[in-house]
Amino acid sequence: MDKVLKIPNHVAIIVDGNGRWATARRMSRSEGHEAGFQNLKNLTAYIYQTGVKYISAYLFSTENFKRSEAEVRFLMNLLTGKLKDILEFCHEEKIKAIFSGRTEKLSNKVIEAMNKIEEETKDYQDKTFNICFNYGSHAEIIDATKKIVSDVQTNNLDINDLDEDLYSKYLYNNLPPVDLLIRTSGEERLSNFMLWQCSYAELYFPKTYFPDFKEKDFDKALEEYTKRDRRFGGVNYDQKNN
């Protein structure tokens, strides 16, 4: 008998372990990132097939600029080189692509390509792919706060109207809360990823390096998610009278 699985609405993925995956194979870190990118495409298509509506993927953090100049350049060029590929993929799968992150430090060419992808895919309704590039959650919260202060100063916002829903609208994208966060490679931390949106996310930390995290591994994540008892600060019905 098929198990009835709970399907999260929003899955966030911290793509991690590309470097270690490559090192274990005596390959360069760059080859690990290339393998990770290929896997992300296949995995994303599969995750939507399970019924998930939103996927957020962490591909480059504001802190990743601390890496060697060569690795930063490779990662920038990898995304730039794949933007056309991403656009084709989104059209094939009918996915709305959106980007989250700071645009400063990105070239005009990359920014234009990102805008084109967002514009061309904006009418797809059922699947949203949030690509987090040059993203940091602290930066996102600071950027949102600056916009809020500016709107208050120009009388476009009454500070008394500010609540959680309105705050979310000031973030890079107004997304539903993350239900399931997956970080591959065995690291068990958020590394500045979607701190606002993950406040009640179920966290799942498989040991697999990202390039090896396949469909069957996502099925296991769904099985684990199905077992979790999400309480959101309340008490479940069967425990209420204890």
The tally of CA atoms less than 13 A away on the side-chain side of residue 92 is 10
Told to judge if 64 belongs to the known catalytic residues of this protein, a careful annotator would answer yes
Q: Which is nearer to ligand IPE, 128 or 184 (CB)?
A: 184
Candidate segments 18-26, 113-121, 151-159, 160-168, binder of ligand IPE by CB under 6 A: 18-26
Q: Considering only residues 49-68, where is the footprint of ligand IPE by CB under 6 A?
A: 58-61, 64
Residues 172-191 that bind ligand IPE (CB under 6 A): 185, 187, 189, 191
Note whether 179 binds Mg ion by CB under 5 A: no
Number of residues that bind ligand IPE (CB under 6 A): 17
Q: Which two structure tokens, joined as six digits, stand for 186?
A: 């065995």
17 binds ligand IPE (CB under 6 A): yes
The distance of closest approach from Cβ of residue 105 to Mg ion in the complex, given in angstroms and rounded to an integer, is 20
Q: Which of 18, 64, 108, 126 is catalytic?
A: 64
Using CB under 5 A as the binding rule, whether residue 193 contacts Mg ion is answered as no
Give the number of other Cβ atoms within 10 Å of residue 2's Cβ: 4
Q: How is the chain classified by DSSP, letter by letter?
A: --------SEEEEE---HHHHHHHTT--HHHHHHHHHHHHHHHHHHHHHTT--EEEEEEEEGGGGGS-HHHHHHHHHHHHHHHHHHHHHHHHHTEEEEEES--TTS-HHHHHHHHHHHHHHTT--SEEEEEEEEE-HHHHHHHHHHHHHHHHHTTS--GGG--HHHHHHTSSS--PPPSEEEE-TT----TT--TTTTTTPEEE--SS-GGG--HHHHHHHHHHHHH----TTS--GGGTT-
Does 19 participate in binding ligand IPE (rule CB under 6 A)?
A: yes
Measure the CA–CA gap between 195 and 163, rounded to whole angstroms: 17
242 is catalytic: no
Nearer to ligand IPE, 44 or 61 (CB): 61
110 binding ligand IPE? (CB under 6 A):
no
Q: How far is the CB of 16 from Mg ion (least distance, A)?
A: 4
Considering the complex, state which of residue 14 and residue 175 has its C-beta at the smaller distance from Mg ion.
14
Pick one of 15, 16, 35, 175: the residue that binds Mg ion (CB under 5 A): 16
Query: CB-wise, 148 or 218, nearer to ligand IPE?
Result: 218
- Cβ at position 78, least distance to Mg ion in Å: 15
> Which residues of the shown chain bind ligand IPE in the complex (CB under 6 A)?
14-20, 58-61, 64, 75, 185, 187, 189, 191
